[in-house]
């Protein structure tokens, strides 16, 4: 299915108040859409803030989950970082989300990882990938649209971690940029845009300990017939600003150069429309399977103030499972 066909079908299903699942890749080249009742037979297992079609638990190994990772070399990351910094200095972007895969080794398969991890948004696409995302994309209910851009991360074990995160000039600028971008994005589909909460902190438990992340809540008003144009609304807002950057079009072009390939479903979006409301997530915290090997995709926002060593460490730090008892 091409993206134009996806938009038409999502609009039609929304107009009919028919519940459906949707998944859109970062490049918008292979979107999926499925009636909710057909998702399982199409190899789609989801959990969206408690709304799930996961009813058949899989058997987990008796031993604790083993998990280790092999990030890309510092040299490879440094080459991409240098390219991004050149483009930032030229003024072609002022925030770019740079990501790379890490090879991982574990005694769990994709389905077992889906079952064992804890996250508000989870997705398993059979034999392709598993995602356990903490980040909402958009929610729509009672003719209001909400988005919650997440930008800014720190190890919660560091001394005065919360204070460090909130006082970081670099993290603050990243967050301001993304909030401004998402306000502008929502203004393309909604009216009366406002920031309800700014830079609030969430704590996330991982196999490596806890991390702190900052998010904001932005909302706007939609017309009462918004269901008739679900596909058009999603199309106008993609790609998600928090995992691309600003300005979007040029930044996405730089991402392709720096990362050296397509992201696919990683950093795309997925969600459900239940016939009345819509809820969706950004596909981050993502493990894909290629030729029998698992890869964890991760990264972070780069600005002109970013430091190579710190950004490489953040890329490595984000390779985790939101689960306890990991060897």
Mind listing the pLDDT tens digit of every residue in the chain (327 residues)?
999 999 999 999 999 999 999 999 999 999 999 999 999 999 999 999 999 999 888 888 888 889 999 999 999 999 999 999 999 999 999 899 999 999 999 999 999 999 999 999 999 999 999 999 999 999 999 999 999 988 888 888 889 988 988 998 888 888 888 899 999 999 999 999 999 999 999 887 776 778 888 999 999 999 999 999 999 999 999 999 888 988 999 999 999 999 999 999 999 999 999 999 999 999 999 999 999 999 999 999 999 989 999 999 999 989 999 885 555
Can you give the pLDDT at residue 298?
96
30 found inside a domain: yes
Distance from C-alpha of 307 to C-alpha of 81, rounded to nearest angstrom:
9
Chain length of the chain: 327
Q: Residue for token digits 């987990």?
A: 60
Q: Which domain covers residue 176, as residue numbers? A: 3-317
Can you give the pLDDT at residue 173?
83
55 found inside a domain: yes
324 found inside a domain: no
Can you give the pLDDT at residue 325?
54
Q: What tokens appear for 143 in the block?
A: 């003719």
Q: Which residues contact 288 (CB under 8 A, 6 or more apart)?
A: 101, 128, 129, 264, 265, 266, 294, 295, 297
Nearest to 39 by CA among 64, 22, 57, 24: 22
CATH of the domain at 18: 3.60.120.10
Nearest to 118 by CA among 188, 65, 44: 65
Full-model pTM? 0.92
142 found inside a domain: yes
Distance from C-alpha of 27 to C-alpha of 36, rounded to nearest angstrom:
24
204 found inside a domain: yes
The total number of structural domains in the chain stands at 1
268 found inside a domain: yes
Q: 10 Å Cβ neighbour count for 243? A: 27
174 found inside a domain: yes
Nearest to 259 by CA among 287, 307, 300, 229: 300
129 found inside a domain: yes
């Amino acid at each position: 299915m091409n993206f134009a066909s996806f938009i038409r079908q999502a609009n039609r299903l929304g107009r009919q108040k028919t519940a459906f699942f949707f998944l859109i890749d970062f490049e918008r080249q292979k979107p999926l859409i499925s009636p909710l009742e057909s998702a399982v037979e199409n190899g789609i297992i989801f959990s969206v803030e408690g709304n799930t079609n996961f009813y058949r638990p899989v058997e987990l190994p008796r031993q604790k989950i083993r998990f280790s990772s092999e990030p890309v070399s510092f040299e490879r990351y440094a080459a991409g970082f240098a390219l991004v910094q050149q483009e930032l200095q030229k003024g072609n972007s002022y925030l770019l989300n740079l990501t790379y895969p890490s090879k991982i080794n574990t005694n769990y398969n994709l389905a077992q990882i889906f079952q064992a991890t804890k996250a508000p948004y989870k997705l398993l696409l059979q034999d392709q990938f598993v995602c356990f995302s903490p980040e909402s994309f958009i929610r729509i209910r009672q003719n209001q649209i909400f988005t919650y851009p997440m930008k800014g991360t720190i190890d919660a074990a560091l001394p005065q971690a919360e204070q460090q995160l909130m006082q970081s000039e670099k993290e603050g600028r990243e967050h301001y940029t993304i909030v401004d971008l998402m306000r502008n994005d929502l203004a393309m589909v909604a009216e009366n845009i406002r920031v309800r909460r700014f830079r609030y902190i969430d704590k996330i438990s991982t196999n490596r300990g806890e991390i702190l992340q900052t998010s904001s809540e932005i909302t706007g008003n939609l017309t009462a017939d918004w269901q008739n144009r679900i596909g058009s609304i999603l199309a106008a807002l993609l790609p998600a600003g928090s995992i691309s950057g600003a300005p979007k079009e040029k930044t996405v072009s730089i991402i392709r150069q720096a990362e050296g390939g397509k992201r696919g479903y990683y950093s795309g979006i997925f969600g459900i429309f239940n016939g009345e409301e819509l809820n969706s997530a950004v596909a981050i915290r993502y493990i894909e399977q290629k030729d029998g090997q698992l890869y964890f995709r991760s990264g972070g926002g780069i600005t002109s103030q970013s430091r190579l060593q710190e950004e490489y460490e953040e890329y490595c730090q984000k390779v985790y499972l939101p689960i306890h008892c990991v060897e």
